[in-house]
């Protein structure tokens, strides 16, 4: 089920989906997550919005990357994934968006349930 969630202190809804999703999954505030990703980007000499940068950050938070089929009929939407994963914590990545799923609910600033997932991270610790 979709649950509206936006920890951005300014209420912005565009450009920071990675930070918003990571706030939900790490239980940290927006500024802490943003700064941590920026520091990871500096260490890697890459931008904080780079998939490699935030991917390294979330792996350091106890998550493991998993791949999904990229073509239908074996594809998953955010809603399908949440419905089938009723327990656990996940970060789902589409081609242009990131969303958190916790125990079958997806948390986002807008209803991204129809977006197709390319890969995801699952908490394993």
pLDDT of residue 81 exceeding 80? yes
- On average, the pLDDT of the chain sits at 94
pLDDT of residue 105 exceeding 80? yes
Are the C-beta atoms of residues 121 and 64 closer than 8 Å to each other? Answer: yes
pLDDT of residue 121 exceeding 90? yes
pLDDT of residue 70: 67
pLDDT of residue 114 exceeding 70? yes
Q: pLDDT tens digits for 8-45?
A: 999 988 889 999 999 999 999 999 999 999 999 999 99
Give 78's contacts (C-beta < 8 A, 6+ positions apart): 92, 94, 99, 101, 106, 112, 113, 114, 115, 117
For the chain, which domains are there? 2-123 (3.90.70)
């Amino acid at each position: 089920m979709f649950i509206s969630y936006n920890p951005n202190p300014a209420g912005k809804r565009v450009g920071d989906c990675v930070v918003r999703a990571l706030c939900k999954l790490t239980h940290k505030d927006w500024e802490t997550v943003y700064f941590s990703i920026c520091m990871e980007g500096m260490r890697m000499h890459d931008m904080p919005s780079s998939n490699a940068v935030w991917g390294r950050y979330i792996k350091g938070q106890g998550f493991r990357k998993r791949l999904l089929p990229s073509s239908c009929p074996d594809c998953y939407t955010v809603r399908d994934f949440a419905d089938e994963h009723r327990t656990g914590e996940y970060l789902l990545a589409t081609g242009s968006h990131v969303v958190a799923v916790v125990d079958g609910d997806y948390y986002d600033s807008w209803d991204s349930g129809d977006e197709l997932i390319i890969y995801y991270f699952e908490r394993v610790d």
